[in-house]
Amino acid sequence: SSRRRHTRYISVTGVQTCALPISAEEIAQNYIAEQDFTAPTVTVTRSGSSTLKVGDTTTVTFTLSESSTNFVAGDVTVSGGTLSSFSGSGTSYTATFTPTANASGTASISVAAGAFTDAVGNSNTTNSLSISYDTIRPSVSSMTSPTVAAGASATVTITLSEASSDFAFADL
């Protein structure tokens, strides 16, 4: 285990009288406390890896290295979209990320250091996730329409604002 363990010895002074004698060995056996000084970590991941498009969402998973009872949606900072349906407990939480409409860029989902604690009060370390998104619908930026005589054919050139993999004649 990567968990660091420290032993703290507690000295007992000022013992006046006891009904039963207590030896130094008994004190050492009964008053040794192990303390956890390891900060819990959080790993932020998502389902899929492609750029999110119009209408897309993705599930974001927050995996904590130690159980927490105070990790909440408010501990997560989001830019470039919104989180909804935050749920979970212990070491596993999920939420749905929806990118900002009519925009493109890189969203960030992060948990700052000190946002939550483990059972003994150690504050977490930081982690974040970046998600590319493009929710701008392509548009026609130019179109040539030459004059055509009856019965003749012509080539019409349509230029889109960005590449399209499914633009078809039926879209006209």
Per-residue pLDDT tens for 112-156?
Answer: 999 999 999 999 999 999 999 999 988 777 778 788 888 888 888
Report how far residue 149's alpha carbon sits from residue 87's, in angstroms, rounded to the nearest whole number: 65
Taking Cα atoms as reference points, which of 62, 4, 7, 67 lies closest to residue 31? 7
pLDDT value at position 146? 80
Strand 127-134 to strand 158-160: parallel, antiparallel, or no bridges (unpaired)? unpaired
* Helix, strand, coil share (%) of the chain residues, nearest 5: 10, 45, 50
Residues 162, 154: contact at Cβ < 8 Å? no
Q: pTM, whole model, 2 decimals? A: 0.70
- List the end-to-end C-alpha distance of the chain, in Å, as a whole number: 63
